[in-house]
């Protein structure tokens, strides 16, 4: 007897290997999953404007990147001793205005180049609740702890989600016709509005996405939300806040992604690289000891071997790290 319902996911036609360039956009969950790809040393770009939760803000960010928007003084406001922009996460805020302007423009410039060359976009939708500025009804990506009266907030409709997702697909495809796009709904719950509204929000995202996903052969849906809700479905797979996923749950989804998008050969390559990265993360207690120098030389040799055997793998940063101790 089977005591749990497994979410069946077939092998995707999208094949990811170490030559692939992969973009991750969206909520905290997008950052969680991109971290696994980064640790396995894939070519990754994540959230060029920081964490984004709703499809309207994701749409605007992608359009702004690909339209080469340049930000200036008028796009920022001063609050909390920082210059902030409603289009960007707080990680881009800064105490110096021109530093803030430069770092957002540099991020978008880098993203523009990467977007045009990317093979796969993973886009995670977190919430259908959107904050809008009262003065112009524009959606904001981040409220930056401003007075709530500056905004109004509402649950956008299925049609609005569908239109935003469709624009995202069309905008990406127009500038990069080879790119494949994977949408997923974040399994992280937004309980500020209660369980019922959280479910309405997630359902709205799912309904708005499914119509678009079935309209394009280069667009797919990955069931992250369904894996957590229907397969794991237990509080032991959450952190203490009962909102964010535990490391075990994140690791489980990572395994599902590998099964879906990696060939057997690439999966073996990833295992080898992940094993090597454990050595990179190993703290060298005594850098002057013979044992430490031997350890570093062995890992330099291993890095060179991996690079020669796995096309597209770049371990230059790791080789330089170990060279410092030789």
pLDDT of residue 193: 78
Average pLDDT of 173-179?
97
Confidence band for 287, pLDDT divided at 50, 70 and 90:
confident
Long-range contacts of 39-45 (CB under 8 A, 24+ apart): 39/274, 39/277, 40/270, 40/273, 40/274, 40/277, 41/273, 41/277, 41/313, 41/314, 41/315, 42/16, 42/18, 43/18, 43/312, 43/314, 45/21, 45/110, 45/111, 45/114, 45/115, 45/118
- Helix 55-66, helix 158-175: angle, nearest 10: 20
Average pLDDT of 112-139?
97
Average pLDDT of 34-48?
98
pLDDT of residue 282: 85
Give per-residue pLDDT as tens, 215-242.
999 999 999 999 999 888 887 888 888 8
How far apart, in Å, are the Cα atoms of 131 and each of 151, 183, 193?
A: 6, 22, 14
Average pLDDT of 175-200?
92
What is the residue extent of each domain of the chain? Answer: 21-262, 263-326
Give per-residue pLDDT as tens, 80-110.
999 999 999 999 999 999 999 999 999 999 9
Q: How far apart are the C-alpha atoms of 122 and 12, rounded to whole Å?
A: 14
Q: Is the pLDDT of residue 256 over 70?
A: yes
pLDDT of residue 93: 98
Confidence band for 5, pLDDT divided at 50, 70 and 90:
confident
pLDDT of residue 227: 94
Average pLDDT of 59-77?
97
Confidence band for 3, pLDDT divided at 50, 70 and 90:
low
pTM: 0.95
Average pLDDT of 112-135?
97
Give per-residue pLDDT as tens, 10-21.
899 999 999 999
Domain over 21-262 is classified CATH 1.10.645.10: no
Q: Look over the chain and give the mean of its residue pLDDT values, rounded to a whole number.
A: 95
């Amino acid at each position: 007897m089977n005591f749990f319902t497994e979410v069946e996911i077939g092998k995707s036609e999208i094949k990811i290997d170490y030559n692939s360039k992969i973009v991750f956009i969206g909520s905290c969950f997008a950052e969680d999953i991109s971290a696994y790809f980064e640790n396995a040393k894939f070519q990754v770009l994540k959230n060029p404007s920081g964490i984004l939760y709703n499809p309207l803000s994701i749409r605007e960010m992608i359009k702004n990147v690909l339209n080469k928007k340049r930000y200036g003084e008028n796009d920022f406001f001063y609050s909390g001793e920082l210059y902030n922009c409603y289009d960007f996460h707080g990680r881009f805020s800064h105490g110096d205005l021109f530093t803030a302007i430069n770092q957002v423009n540099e991020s978008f410039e880098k993203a523009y180049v990467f977007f045009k060359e990317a093979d796969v976009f993973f886009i995670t939708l977190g919430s259908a609740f959107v904050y809008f500025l009262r003065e112009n009804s524009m959606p904001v990506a981040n409220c930056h702890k401003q007075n709530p009266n500056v905004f109004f907030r509402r649950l956008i409709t299925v049609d609005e989600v569908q239109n935003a997702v469709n624009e995202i697909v069309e905008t990406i495809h127009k500038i990069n016709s080879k790119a494949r796009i994977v949408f997923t709904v974040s399994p992280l719950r937004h309980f500020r509005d209660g369980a019922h509204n959280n479910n309405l929000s997630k359902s709205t995202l799912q309904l708005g996405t499914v119509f678009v996903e079935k309209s394009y052969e280069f667009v797919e849906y990955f069931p992250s939300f369904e894996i957590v809700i229907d397969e794991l479905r237990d509080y032991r797979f959450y952190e203490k806040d009962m909102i964010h996923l535990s490391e075990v749950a994140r690791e489980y989804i990572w395994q599902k992604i590998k099964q879906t998008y990696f060939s057997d050969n690439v999966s073996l390559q990833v295992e080898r690289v992940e094993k090597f990265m454990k050595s990179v993360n190993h703290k060298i207690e005594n850098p002057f000891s013979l044992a430490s120098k031997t350890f570093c030389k062995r890992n330099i040799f291993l890095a060179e071997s991996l690079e020669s055997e796995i096309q597209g793998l770049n371990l230059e940063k790791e080789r330089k790290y170990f060279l410092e101790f030789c």
